[in-house]
Amino acid sequence: MPTPRININLSKIAHNAKVLSSLFKSKGIEIIAVTKGVCAHPHIANVLVNSGIKILADSRISNIKEMRAAGVKASFLLIRTPMISQAESVVLDTDMSLNSELSVIKKLSEFAILHGKIHKVIVMVELGDLREGILPSQLENTIKKVLSLRGVELTGIGTNLACFSGVKPTTEKMELLSSIASSIEKKFKIKLSVISGGNSANYNWFSTTKDVGRINNLRLGESIFLGYEPLTGKPIPKLYQDAFMLVAEVIELKNKSSMPDGEIGLNAFGNKPKFKDQGIIRRAILAMGVQDVMVAGLTPKLDVEILGAGGDHIIINAKKENLKVGSDVSFTLKYGALVTAMNSSYIFKNIITPINGEEYCAIVEEKDSLHKKKTAVMTVKEDHSPLISLQDSDFNLIFQKSIQKNYRYLVREEVYKKIGRISELLNNQGKKLIIRSAWRSFKHQQKLLEQKASFLKNKYPKKSIEEINKILSNFVAPKRKSTHSTGGAVDALIYDLRKKCVLDFGTNDGLHIDLNEKCYPKHPDISEEAKKNRKLLMKLFEDEDFVCDHKEYWHFDYGNIGWAVEKNKEYANYGVLKESFVQSAALNYPNKVFFYL
C-alpha cells in the first residue's frame, strides 16, 4: 500500500456523526456537517448522509460541485460568504449560503430570478469574533432589504465564533443570538426556520446549558471527524479520535547526536532552529514533510518525539520503539493537519470501508480454506510436553458440562499456565473464565459431531442433510481433524460475576451457542456490546500468543498446527494425542494431574 497515506475509517466517522446527531437532537438542535476539513471527499460525504445528516456545508463551491457530481444526496450550504464574482455559480450549484454583505445578496437575487430559482439565505450576525457577520445594530436594516428581494428566501440567521479570535460561544452569546432572532421575527412578523449557533466549539455550551433557547442548528466539522472539542482540545466522550490516521515510512534510522555539529545559521525555512542536548539518540527519518502535511498538528501513536521537519522529511527521536528502515509510523491529526493531509496530492487516501456481513463471510471462507490447505502440510516437532487437567488447578474457572463422561479438561503444560494468567486477569475485572472444552479424543469428537448433527436436524427439520452438513462443517471438525486432539486448543467464554450471567457474544444464550455465520469472530452484524465482549475475550487469549479460530470466536489455538500456520512458524510443537496414549498415561499416574507421554 502506498506511503505516506491517510487511513480513513468510514465506520468511525459514521459513528461520530450518529452520536453527535442524536446528542444535539436531544435538545432540538439539527446538525449540518461541514466537509471542508476533508476536501469534501465524496466517500466521506456519503457516509455523513447515510448517518442521517441532511445538509452538507463547505466553504468552497468547487467542493460542493464535486459532491454533487459524485451523486451525494444532500442539500448543500456554502459557508464562506460568497464572492460576488461567483454569485451565479452560488445560485446554480448550491442550495443556500451564509451571507454578510447586502450587495452579494442582491446579486444572488438577480441570478436566482434569471435562472428561475429560489436561493436560501442565512444572514450572519457578528457577535465578537470579528470574522464574518453583520453588526447587530445594522441587522434590522439589512433584513428589511433582504425581505424585499425576490429570488432569495431568508431562511434564518446564524453566527460564527471561536474561529478568528477564539471568542467562546458562551451562554450570553447564545442568549443574545436567541433574542436577536425573536426580535426580528416580531418586528417583521416572520418565522426564521434556522437559528445557527456556531460550530464544533459550541459543544461545551451545549453540554452545560439546560435551555438552548432559540438555537436549533449547528455546523460541525472538526468534532465529527476528529472527536475533539476544539476550544480545549479535549476528546468528546463516546467519539473516536482516530477515524483518520496518517502513516509515514522510516527511510533512515541511525544513532546520532541530538546536537548539530558546526556553526548554526538559518535553516531551509529561514528560521534559526534550537536543539535540546539529549546525548546520542536513535534518530529516524520519515518520508513525509511540511510539503505534505502541517507537521505541527501530528501526534505520534508510538512513544517517539518529533524533533523537527523539512519539506520532505520528519525527524523523530525513536527512543525505545522497535522501528527499522521500512517501518510504518502512525499519527493522529489535529484539524490543520487533517485539512492539509486531505488536500495533499502526495498523500494516498486509504478509505477503509465498513464491509457487510456477506462480504466479511466471503473473506473468512477464503482465509479458512487457505488455512486448511496450509495446516495439511504443516509439520509437527512434538515437544512431548505433558497434558494437565485444568480441573485440578486452583485457577478460578467455570467448567461447562461436557457430553463426555469424566471429562478432565486437559491442556498442555504451557497452555495450562496461560489459562492461569488469563483467569487471574479476568478475576480482577469481576469476571470468570468459562472453559467449554479442551483436549478431546477422536471418540469424543465423533460423539460431538453426531450430537450437533441431531440437534441441528431437530432445530431445522426442513433443511436437507447437505445443508445440515454445511453448517456442521463450519463449526465441528471431522474426528481426526480437530485441533482439540492436540491439547493446544481451548474453547472459552466469559462469565460476569456482577451481572451473574455469561457475557453476550452475539450468538449465545448463556452457555448455549447458536451455530451460524455470526459466530465468525469479527462479523459486523452483531451488537456493539457483543463486539466489545468478543474483543475482550480475543485480546486476553491473543496477548498470551493464542490465535482465534477463523470461524469460532470461542476457539483458541496454541502450539498446534492451526497456530503454527497463523503465526508463520516452521513447525508446530503439539501433535495429536490419541486417547489410548492419554489413558495409559493416566493409569501410570493415577493420582497426579500430569499425563505424561
**Interface with ligand PLP (CB under 6 A), residue from 16, 100, 199, 486:** 199
Toward ligand PLP, which CB reaches closer, 161 or 364?
Answer: 161
**Interface with ligand PLP (CB under 6 A), residue from 220, 419, 434, 492:** 220
Contact assessment for residue 493 and residue 508, using Cβ atoms and an 8 Å cutoff: yes
Toward ligand PLP, which CB reaches closer, 160 or 560?
Answer: 160
Residues 37-76 that bind ligand PLP (CB under 6 A): 37, 59
Q: Which of 217, 197, 231 is nearest to 335 (CA)?
A: 231
Long-range contacts of 531-538 (CB under 8 A, 24+ apart): 531/506, 533/494, 533/503, 533/504, 533/505, 533/506, 534/505, 534/506, 536/494, 536/503, 537/492, 537/493, 537/494, 537/503, 537/505
Residue in the structure block whose three cell numbers are 444572514? 123
Q: How far is the CB of 133 from ligand PLP (least distance, A)?
A: 10
Catalytic residue among 18, 36, 117, 374: 36
Toward ligand PLP, which CB reaches closer, 218 or 410?
Answer: 218
Binding mask 394-433 for ligand PLP (x = CB under 6 A): ----------------------------------------
Contact assessment for residue 74 and residue 57, using Cβ atoms and an 8 Å cutoff: no
Contact assessment for residue 528 and residue 535, using Cβ atoms and an 8 Å cutoff: no
- Position of minimal CB gap to ligand PLP: 221
CA gap 354, 158 in Å, rounded: 35
Q: HEC states along 17-61?
A: HHHHHHHHHCCCCEEEEECHHHCCCHHHHHHHHHCCCCEEEECCH
Q: How far is the CB of 177 from ligand PLP (least distance, A)?
A: 14
200 binds ligand PLP (CB under 6 A): yes
222 binds ligand PLP (CB under 6 A): yes
Q: Is 367 a catalytic residue?
A: no
Q: How far is the CB of 388 from ligand PLP (least distance, A)?
A: 58
| The one segment of 31-39, 134-142, 376-384, 438-446 that binds ligand PLP by CB under 6 A | 31-39
Q: HEC states along 503-518?
A: CCCCCEECCEECCCHH
| The one segment of 172-180, 214-222, 455-463, 477-485 that binds ligand PLP by CB under 6 A | 214-222
| The one segment of 64-72, 107-115, 221-229, 337-345 that binds ligand PLP by CB under 6 A | 221-229
Residue in the structure block whose three cell numbers are 472527536? 227
Binding mask 225-264 for ligand PLP (x = CB under 6 A): -----x----------------------------------
CA gap 309, 300 in Å, rounded: 14
504 binds ligand PLP (CB under 6 A): no
Cα distances (angstroms) measured from residue 453 to each of 277, 320, 510: 70, 54, 21
Toward ligand PLP, which CB reaches closer, 66 or 557?
Answer: 66
Binding mask 152-191 for ligand PLP (x = CB under 6 A): --------x-------------------------------
CA gap 587, 591 in Å, rounded: 9
Structure-block grid coordinates of residue 597: 507421554
Positions marked catalytic? 36
Site residues (CB under 6 A) for ligand PLP?
Answer: 34, 36-37, 59, 79, 98, 160, 199-201, 219-223, 230
